[in-house]
Amino acid sequence: MEVVTQKSTRTNLKPRKSMSPWAIARRKFVRNKLAMVSLCFLMFIAIISFLAPHITTQDITRVNISQMSLEPSSDHWLGTDKSGRDVFTRLLYGGRISLFVGISCTLIVIFIGTVIGAIAGYFGGFVDGILMRFTDFILNFPVLVFVIVLNTIFFGKANGVWVLIVVIGVLYWGGIARVVRSKVLAEKENEYVLAAVSIGSSPAKVIIKHLLPNVLSTIIVQATLTFATMIIIESALSYLGFGVPQEVPSWGNMLSFANEPDVLQSKPWMWMPPALAIILTILSINFIGEGIKDALNPKSRR
* pLDDT tens-digit map of 97-119: 999 999 999 999 999 999 999 99
pLDDT band at residue 1 using 50, 70 and 90 as cut-offs? very low
The Cα 181–Cα 189 span in angstroms is: 13
Length in residues, the chain: 302
Percent of the chain with pLDDT over 70: 90
Q: Are 270 and 287 in contact (CB under 8 A)?
A: no
pLDDT at residue 2, as a whole number: 47
Q: Could you say which DSSP state residue 163 is in?
A: H
* Residue 208 or 6, more confident: 208
Question: Helices in 78-154 by DSSP H: which ranges?
Answer: 87-123, 125-139, 143-154
Domains, the chain, with CATH or none: 23-52+87-295 (1.10.3720.10)
Mean pLDDT of the chain: 86
Q: Are 70 and 79 in contact (CB under 8 A)?
A: yes
**What is the gyration radius of the CA atoms in the chain, in angstroms?**
25
Q: Could you say which DSSP state residue 75 is in?
A: S
Per-residue pLDDT tens for 129-152? 999 999 999 999 887 788 778 777
Per-residue pLDDT tens for 251-294? 999 998 888 888 888 889 899 999 999 999 999 999 999 999 89
Considering only CA atoms, which of 60, 96, 100, 104 is closest in space to residue 246? 60
The Cα 201–Cα 147 span in angstroms is: 42
Per-residue pLDDT tens for 212-243? 988 998 999 999 999 999 999 999 988 888 88
pLDDT band at residue 41 using 50, 70 and 90 as cut-offs? very high
Helix (H, G, I), strand (E, B) or coil at 86: strand
Strand partners, 80: 86
The Cα 222–Cα 239 span in angstroms is: 25
Considering only CA atoms, which of 128, 48, 117 is closest in space to residue 89? 48
How much is the average pLDDT of 113-128? 94
pLDDT at residue 91, as a whole number: 93
